[in-house]
Each structure stands twice: as structure tokens, then as C-alpha cells.
Structure 1
Amino acid sequence: MAANSVQKNPSISIFTPKSGDTFQDKLKDGSLAPEMVIVPAGKFMMGSNDDNNEKPIHDVTITKPFALGKYQVTFEDYDKYCKATGTSKPNDNGWGRGKRPVINVSWNDAQKYCQWLSQQTGEAYRLPTEAEWEYACRAGTTTRYWWGDEIGKNKANCDGCGSRWGNQQTAPVGSFKPNPFGLYDMHGNVWEWCQDGWHGDYKGAPTDGSAWEGGDGMRVLRGGSWSNLPSNLRSALRSRNSPDYSFYNLGFRVVRSSPSIL
């Protein structure tokens, strides 16, 4: 376990986590839940002028730290849930399971996984809100990608990112450098479901980082994937689909917001 990793210890009565610390909760069988990174509270400018659905650019304040999955939920993580609940395992398209991000999962599937994870750990797991996702993706940056305005080479997995998996298949999680918050694959690999309902722009959007429910029945997707062009990987880019839709470039990561370690 990394030097800045922590595990809950009932013999320790006082613990003050720091931004960037990582931890893993235990499941009832003694195995570990997804590895989480503590993301600090802060403010950022959400959106961009690149597309009408990314307007207006607006101030968002994340009032409390939260923990976000260090990686996209993997097949290894998700298959534990499937085995425990008798749920059919999603197809891996022949690319392998293990440390590859789970694919062919819908928003509804992701919700059920979060509910199971919460039951297993006694903590509150859920999908990230759209504001939390963009805040974590940007990690204090204002450029199109956390590393700059150009896609560069071999910084992410997409069609045109210069990696060996680009436009071919998913990459094992953690195959590229993390962003300044210590989060991997915030750009590319698989699209990530968010909690929010879809709204066509940000007029009337919450400014406190909370989920924006309602909308047209669709659910928000962020981050782009291995099969998308670099423009789809921008920090501000938004997409959506039906909550029961699944595909080989859709996955998710989880948030834990309960106070026992945060």
C-alpha cells in the first residue's frame, strides 16, 4: 500500500485525512472495495464556450472533501458484486477482465453496484455528480485536458491519443499518468456515468456541487472513451444516454461521501 494510503482502524480515535490520501473499505468477505482518493473541497469554473451545452460557464463551490475512485470500477471489482448477488456478469468483449474497466454496464447497473457496495461496507457509495466529476477531472486546471490544451501522445486511451489501445479496446486502469489529484483515466478509456439527469445547458444548474436531477430522462456521461476522438475527452465535454443503455465503451467510478473517514 502506498505511503499516503490509510485504512480504517477502530483503535485510532482521531484521524485527519489529507487531500490525496487513499484508502479501501473492506467488504463483508474480507476483500477490498475499490481504492479511493480523497479530493479536497474547493471552487472552480465549470463549463466552457466550446459547445452550447457547456454554457454558461459558472462558479461551483465544492463545500466538503469527498472520496472518488482512484480508477474506473474494474471487472475485478464488479465481478465480486455479480458473484455475491447472482447477477449476470457483463461481457468483456474478449479483451479480458481483471484490472480492465468494467464495460457494458448501464446507469441502472451502476446504481445497483453502489447500493451493494454501501451495504457491504456500511458506507455511502454513489455515482459522482456532474460537478464533482468535472472538478475532479480538472484538478485545479483550466485547460481542455488536465495536462494542457493539446492531446499530446500516450497521455490517455482514445482514437488519436497515440496509445497502443487507441480505437482498439480498453486499457488496464492506471496505464497512464494520474492527474494532480492522483486520479487515473479521467480522460478516455471508458465514458463514466454521473448521477445527474441531462439538461441541455447550465442555466439554473446548482452551484454547490450537488446532483441536478430532473431533465429529459437521460443521464450524464463524462470523459470520453477508447473509441472517441480527442475532442470528446475535454474536461468540460458532456454527453448523455438512457439509464438502461449499456455499451462496450461505457463504465463508471464511484464516490464515497460518508463522514467516517472524511
Structure 2
Amino acid sequence: MKKNSILMTCLFICFASFAEKPSKMQLSNPEGKIYKYNTTIEKERPELNEATQKAILEYRKNPSQKNYDALLVQVNLNYDDVIARKVAKLEELKTSARYEYQITDMQDIVDETIAVRDLRIKQSMARFTDPRFVENRIKNEDFHPLLGAALNVYVAHTPVTNSQYAEFSGKKVKPGEENLPVVNVNIKDIEKYCAWRGKKDGCKYRIPTEYEWQLAAGHMPKDADFNVEEDRKLTPVEKYSQTTGASGGIDFWGNVWEWTSTKDEDGKFFVKGGAYDSKRMDCRSENNEQTRDGKIRYKNVGFRLIMEK
């Protein structure tokens, strides 16, 4: 009896140890491994430090050029601190990493952080100097102020869902699919929906420009949970509601690509945020390589509304 008890204890310990470690298959997954099994990804969500909060407050009291410049200095310092931390982590990994992919993953993160520095600072300044800015704003609203845009511009909390679109189209939604993002809609379909809903609600609706979408989403957290390499199909827009964009909205990354009104030189429209069948890195807010023909309806492209009051 005693031997059996010892054996069972050993088996339990071994099983628990095994369950905590990624399998060989997980480690060899070139997409998923980085985020679920890589302990080098930073998990923090840095809060605004005291100096930045003070600079924002001073600017709100007196939006002078002097106070704007003081805030800009602080935002630059903050971002350069982020770069320095990531570079230091990269150097540490070069001597301590157990797997080569940990170094290459961190190198990619460092390179991207440096490449988008000016854009991120521009977007941060646009948000911080918006008179509607409130730190740690958490509200479950249908539309959120699009910080950094015109004061009458708001962005939807989620992509348009099947049930919302069905009010316009008259098509029945399959049970259980009411809160899936609507797909198979082209630009003309969206324009008609916006006109219909705008008349009903007494305001103007449209889709965001690429830059407005980036303002609304903000930077994609490297360790965020969303529908890519997870469900392999559409999911309700609220399933990953713990992952929020800079505006307070949800479902910006993964699930469905989102149409924007910005065109490339060939007249195709940029789409943002990735879909359930995308590569995770393609979901990055800064990715501007994905376009679609505005006349075609796609099974993995939906849309999010901008409201102008």
C-alpha cells in the first residue's frame, strides 16, 4: 500500500511538471509559440508615471505651446525607456536564452519598437492632448470618443454584428450567430448600411480611415488574447473583451479584418487587425500591407463604424 502511494505521488508530480511545460509540437509552432509559451514577452501594462500625469494636467489647464512641448519631451523619454528595456532584455537573452527563437523573437520586437517610434509618439500626443482624454477610462459604451481625432468623432465598441446588420438587410441570422461580426460585405454594402442607420439614428456613420483605426486600436499588446491561432473560426465580438484598444473598444485584433476607407495607389482598400485565419504578426496595428478589392465580399472581412455627432 505504501509503495502504491509513493508511486502515485511520483506520477502526479511528473504529470504536473509535464503540464506546465510546452510540448515539442508547441515549441515548434512558428506562430503560436511566441505568445503563449515564450516567457520573454513582457506582461506589464505600464501606467502613466507621475511626470507624465503632471505634464498632461498642465497642458489641460493651459494648452500652450510651452506645455505641449513639455509633454512631448516626457512622451519621448517614456518611449525611449521602453526601447532601452527591450534592448537590455535582448542583450540578456543573447547569453541566457535556452532556445534560439527567444532571441529572434525579442530582436523582432526591438526592431518594430524602433521602427514605429515616431508614429507611436504622434499617436500618444494626439490622445493625451485631446480634451476628452481621461486616464484609465473604463466604460461599456456603444461608441467611444476617438481620442486624437476631431471632437465630434466616435468609434464603435465592436465591429458590426450579424444581428445589427440583419435589422438593415432583413436576412435571418442563424441561432447562436447573432453576435458574430458580419462578413461578406463590400464597400457599397457598407455605404448603404451607414446611410440607413444614420437616417434612423439622426447622425452620420462611416468606416474609419486607416489612421483613425490605428488611433482607436492603439498598439497591439504582444501577450494579448484574441481570436487568431485559437478558434480557427469566427467568434462572438465580446469573447475576448479583456483585450481592449486604446479607445476602450474591443475585438480590434483577430476575428475579422476590418475595412477602412483608405485606398492604396491601385484603388484597393486597406484592411486592419487581422482575422481568425491570419498570422498573429499580421494583426499588428502598424501593418499596412493588407488591401482588398472594395467590390468583393470576403468571408473574413467585416467593419467597424465611426460616428460623427
Q: Do the two structures share a fold, i.e. TM-score over 0.5?
A: yes
Normalising by structure 1, we get a TM-score of 0.60
For 1:253, the equivalent position in structure 2 comes to 304
Partner amino acid, structure 2, of 1:128:
P
1:175 aligns with 2:236: no
In structure 1, runs of 5+ residues without a counterpart are 1-15, 24-34, 42-61, 84-88, 199-214
For 1:102, the equivalent position in structure 2 comes to 182
Higher helix proportion (structure 1 or 2): 2
Shift of 1:17: 7.1
Structure with higher RCO (Cα < 8 A, 6+ apart): 1
For 1:70, the equivalent position in structure 2 comes to 157
1:39 aligns with 2:146: yes
For 2:227, the equivalent position in structure 1 comes to 157
Partner amino acid, structure 2, of 1:127:
I
The Cα offsets for residues 118-167 of structure 1, whole Å up to 9 and x where unpaired, read as 111110111111110011111xx4xxx1x2xx3x36x11112xxx3x1xx
From 294, 298, 308, the counterpart of 1:243: 294
Quickly say closer, same or farther: Cα 1:230–1:219, change in 2 above 3 A.
Answer: same
Partner amino acid, structure 2, of 1:246:
R
Higher strand proportion (structure 1 or 2): 1
Shift of 1:189: 0.6
The Cα offsets for residues 228-252 of structure 1, whole Å up to 9 and x where unpaired, read as 0101101111211111111211100
Larger mean CA deviation between 246-255 and 104-113 belongs to 104-113
What SS does the aligned partner of 2:259 have?
strand
Shift of 1:39: 2.3
Number of matched pairs: 173
What SS does the aligned partner of 2:164 have?
helix
Q: 1:95·1:170 contact (CA, 8 Å) conserved in 2? A: no
Inter-partner Cα distance in structure 2 for 1:22 and 1:174: 11
For 2:255, the equivalent position in structure 1 comes to 189
Quickly say closer, same or farther: Cα 1:183–1:114, change in 2 above 3 A.
Answer: same
What SS does the aligned partner of 1:37 have?
strand
1:225 aligns with 2:305: no
Equivalences for residues 17-166 of structure 1 within 5 A: 23=141, 35-41=142-148, 62-64=149-151, 66-83=153-170, 89=171, 96-138=176-218, 141=219, 145=220, 147=221, 150=222, 152=223, 155-159=225-229, 163=230, 165=231
What SS does the aligned partner of 2:248 have?
coil
Inter-partner Cα distance in structure 1 for 2:298 and 2:175: 14
Q: 2:132·2:147 contact (CA, 8 Å) conserved in 1? A: no
Normalising by structure 2, we get a TM-score of 0.51
In structure 2, runs of 5+ residues without a counterpart are 1-130
Shift of 1:96: 4.5
Aligned sequence identity (%) = 25
What SS does the aligned partner of 2:245 have?
coil
Inter-partner Cα distance in structure 1 for 2:163 and 2:133: 27
